[in-house]
Structure formats: structure tokens, C-alpha cells
A and B are shown apart, each in its own frame.
Chain A
Amino acid sequence: MTAQTRDELIEQLKQGVVEFDEDSVVEAAESVVESEYDAYDAVMHGLAEGMNMVGELFTNGTYFVPEVLMSADALYAGLDILRPHVALDESRQIKGSVVIGTVEGDVHDIGKNLVKMMFEIAGFTVYDLGKDVPLDKFVEEQLRTDSEIVCLSAMMTTTMVGMPIVIQKIREKNPNVRIMIGGAPVSADIADKWGADGFAENAPNALEEALRMVGTLKDLQA
């Protein structure tokens, strides 16, 4: 049996994530490692790309949360195998650090966990504070880790109102931190009104936003 090509394995990884077929993803990931193909390439163009497609299926109302969760499980199964083999070289430098959590009073963390996953895939260092996080903790953790980005998540209207308070407290301590907010009740308008730097409409979008924000920070420092 001829070994699969890089392209075939990338496709298998991608489809495996979209079809939440953990076994297929694991098989493909192991083959990537065995064939000594580029693991980072497999992560980004296979797994992450698959998740992007899942994001679109969610946005267009084909997939719902259970499907997205199962796709994420499949992705993680592959990531666990591939990540140790991702070569560390200049182009894969740590993109930056992110503090992430669900605000106090809110115990929903599905969206937050998907955003965290996208950051991890892309090479960010993620400090996950979990859910129901006291507002001051976000500030403390950002100072402790000197993270470039702080991500706040809330799933309910009654808890998102803690976000402007966190934003204000962080700005007082460190005006250069980029703050991104997201969650069902949040909108681009609200993010703007509260002085956030970015708004995450969904997980893949959160990663795009984060890369853009880090880019602006690097320009500041240049």
C-alpha cells in the first residue's frame, strides 16, 4: 500500500474534523508523524482549516453546538498527536500571550473554550482563567503574565455588564493591552461602546481578530 501524500492526509484531517470523525483524524495525524511531514502545516491546513469550515457551517445554520463540540473533540485528538512534532523555528515563534476567561457570574464556557483552542493551534500561549472569573482576576493575570491580549467571554446579558468594568481597570494599569470581548449577547456595537479593541463573533473570527490586534501592538513597539 502506497503511503498517503501530504495533500491526502491534510484532506483527511480536514474532513475528519468536519465530520467529527475522531478515529479518522487520529489515523491521519499518526500517518503525518510517521511520514515525517510538516506537523505545523498539518495543524494549520488540516485541523484548523477543518474548524474554519465547521465555523461556517455553524454560522449558516447547518451545524449547531453539539456538532461543533464533537468537531472540536476530533480536532484535539489530532492536535495532541501533532503538537509535540511542531518544529520550533523563527516562523513559528510564539505569537503572543492571551489571558482568557468567562466573566464573573457566568458559568458558560463553550465559546470561550473554542476560542482558546484556536489560539493554541496558532501558537499563542493561553492563560485560561476558566469561568465565573472575578473581574479583578483578569487584571491581575494580565499583569502577572504581561499578556498582549485579554479575552472576555459572557453568554448572558446579565453578566456581560461586568466587561466594561474589566476593560476600564485594565486600561488604568496598562493602556497597551488589547482587549477582545465575545459571547452571545455581545455585538460589535456594544464592543465599540465599551472601548474594547476587538469583537469575536465566533472562534475562527476571534483568532483573526487576535492576530490583527497583535499586529497593531507590534507596530506600536517598532
Chain B
Amino acid sequence: MTSDGNSRQVVLDLLNHKTVDRIPCFSGIGNVTTSGLDQYGYRFPEIHVDAEKMANSALATFEQFGFESVVVPFDMGVEAEALGCTVKYYDDGSHRVLYPTISGKLSDKVSDINLNVPADFSQAGRLPLVMEAIRKAKAKAGDRAAIGSWVLGPFTLAGQLTDLNDLLKNSFKKPEMVNNLLAQLADVLVQIINLYKEAGADFITVREMGATSDVVSPRMFESLVLPHLRRVFAAVPSPTVLHICGDTNKIVEMMAQSGADALSVDQKNDLAASRAKLPEALLFGNIDPYNLLVQGTPETVEAGIHTIIDNGPSAVWPGCDIWPEVPPENMKALMATMEKYGAEAKG
């Protein structure tokens, strides 16, 4: 926590498999709050297209609440945009909170995708912007907080580039064709991750929620998704985290074989059971970002976080993006609960 000033050290030690004396609370996924945006006078649509605003918005969550990471970017359109997709930013001048989405995919069918990989990714789409935001975040807070960045996993990225129906059906009917695409995307992601590391990111999270068991079978995860995750993690520097939200109970052991240093799961994962399956793993999770952090009260937040800590994670992470309009008092309750019980759990 910012109170004892050793947040960066604890988080990085944990990620590097060293012993720590308390459980930290952070995230590898973008987490901004409107409370933070208000501090700087930003509107939500602005923070995805300006490096300084992106860095400051990320920083605010650390500075206002002591949340133990500074992470950029926030939306899932960066990689797809760099490959040629168009992004909708929902900027109508208002303060409404709508995450950017892909408005123009590369094609309607997997078979029609023409992957135009830029010669120099560091100039493609918003990559220069995100890299600059990482540099700024590092300059502003790199002495105090862990700086994180993230990318989508190959399967989830494929879902951004083409019609999801077509991708899913072909995953069943023509897996070789999908395999070829995913292999290319794995290489793309390795390039992007390395750029983020160069810019100063301390740790990288790969988000592969498209492959949750809510969507594809564990068998398909093993044959189609896992090989490409392994490809990615084998080619980038540690520390890394694999995040999959949704029902991951049947695939958590396979996730542990991906080569990521740590795993992140959400509230649908039975954390205690996962901990029993993977006693030595770095296992992060699993706050319900909406039902607990947004809909809860400081009292229910404390009770909920205490329960999570008791389930044995290595660090407390939100199950997915923190909803920006999260009540500040709940964020405070979250961090106060961590302060209260986080060291006990390690002792």
C-alpha cells in the first residue's frame, strides 16, 4: 500500500516468485475510475486516444486508492486496430462511459482474412500512443508502483478480426484453418508484448476470455487455444499473467501449463478448489467487479474480500475490468480490507 510505500517491491517480488510478507491487491487489466478521471477533468472517451490522459487516468487509481498497479491501455481494440480494423470511440462530447469497440472487422469469414502484418508495429495504430503512455506511467510512478500492460490472447484477438460465429463454427469444422490464423496472431502478439516491455512495462497480462468454458469446450481449449498461448509465453520476458474470465474451473490446470508465470481468474472460478489443484501456482483473483465492488456496500465489500483472501489467492485481483463508475467508498473499503487481512494471510 502507499502507506508503507513498498507496493512496487511487493508486487514485483511476488510476480518473480519471491517470498512476500503480505498479499497485494492489484490488476494486470486496465482499471480506471471516474473518480480518477474527475480529478484530472477528463471524459472517458478521451483517455483512449491521448497518451498523457491514458497514463494519468491509470495512475489515479493507484494514487487515489492505493490500488497496487498502474495499467494501460483500457480497451480491447488496440491490437485489432493495428492490424487494420476500425475502432468506434463513442465520443459524443458527453461523459458517458462506453469502452471503444471494433466497428469494422477485417472480414466476415475466417477464410477471407488477409492478415496485413505491419513491418513496424511500433508505428501501427495506437501502439505508439500506448507505448508513450507506458513510458509516462513509468516516469510518473515507476519508483512506487508496478507498471503493467496487456494484450488479448490469439483466440480472443481472432474474434475481434472476424465474425465470431464464423470463427467458432470453423473452430469445430475446420480447426486447421483456425490454427493457421492463431499461429500468425501469436507472432503478432509477441511483437506487441516486446514493444510494451521495451517501453517499460514491468509485467504483461494476456487476456484470453474468448476461450472460456462458457464458450468453447475444454477439449477445444487444449487442442486449439493452449498451443498458441504457449507459443506466446515462451517468446516473451517474464513476468507474465494469463487471464481468463468466465467459467475456468475445468481448464485452470491447463492454464497452468501455458508458460505464464501467474494465472488470473474471475468470480465464476472456485478459487479454493483451484488452489487445491495448483498449490504452488501464482493464482490471482477473484473479485466480482460488478456485484461486489459496484453493487456492494463497504461492509459487504469487506466481507467479500475477506472471503477471497481466505480462499488462498497469491494476490487479490478483480475478476475483470473494474467498472469505472465504482463507488469510491467501495474502492477504499477494498484496500482497507487488504490492509487488515493481507499480511495475516501470509503469516
A residues neighboring B (CB under 8 Å): 61, 64-67, 69-70, 73, 104-108, 110, 113, 132, 157-161, 184-185, 190, 193
Contacts and interface: CB of A to CB of B under 8 A. Distances in A.
Contact of A69 (B90, B97, B98, B168): B168
Interface in B280-314: 289-291, 295
A157 B290 contact: yes
A157 B97 CA distance: 12
B12 interface: no
Q: Which 10 A-B pairs have the closest CB atoms?
A: A105-B98, A66-B172, A66-B168, A157-B290, A64-B217, A65-B215, A107-B101, A69-B169, A64-B216, A65-B168
Interface in B42-83: none
Given A64-B220, A70-B172, A157-B321, A110 B165 contact: yes
B141 interface: no
Given A105-B99, A107-B101, A66 B323 contact: no
A28 B213 CA distance: 33
Contacts of B172: 66-67, 70
A185 B169 contact: no
Nearest to B288: A157
A124 B295 CA distance: 35
A113 B163 CA distance: 13
A185 B99 contact: no
A113 B165 CA distance: 10
Given A105-B90, A184-B214, A184-B246, A158 B220 contact: no
B320 interface: yes
A185 B320 CA distance: 12
Contacts of A190: 291
A66 B167 CA distance: 9
A133 to B, nearest CB: 12
Interface string B112-130: 0000000000000000000
Nearest to B167: A66
Contacts of B214: 65, 184
A159 B99 CA distance: 8
B345 interface: no
Given A157-B290, A159-B98, A160-B290, 15 more contacts: A61-B213, A64-B213, A65-B168, A66-B168, A66-B216, A69-B169, A70-B173, A73-B169, A105-B101, A107-B101, A107-B102, A108-B164, A110-B164, A157-B289, A159-B99
B171 interface: yes
Nearest to B209: A156
Contacts of A161: 290, 323, 325
A185 B98 contact: no
A211 B220 CA distance: 36
Nearest to B88: A132
A114 to B, nearest CB: 11
Contacts of A66: 168-169, 171-172, 216, 220
Contacts of A105: 90, 98-99, 101
Contacts of B168: 65-66, 69, 110
Most A C-beta atoms less than 10 A away, residue of B98, B173, B289, B323: B98
A185 B171 contact: no
Contacts of B246: 184
A193 to B, nearest CB: 8
Nearest to B105: A107
A131 to B, nearest CB: 9
B251 to A, nearest CB: 12
10 contacts: A61-B213, A65-B214, A65-B215, A69-B169, A73-B169, A105-B90, A113-B165, A158-B97, A158-B321, A185-B290
Contacts of B171: 66
Nearest to A58: B214
Max chain B Cβ within 10 angstroms of own Cβ: one of A65, A69, A107, A184? A65
Nearest to A108: B164
A132 B289 CA distance: 22
Contacts of B320: 157
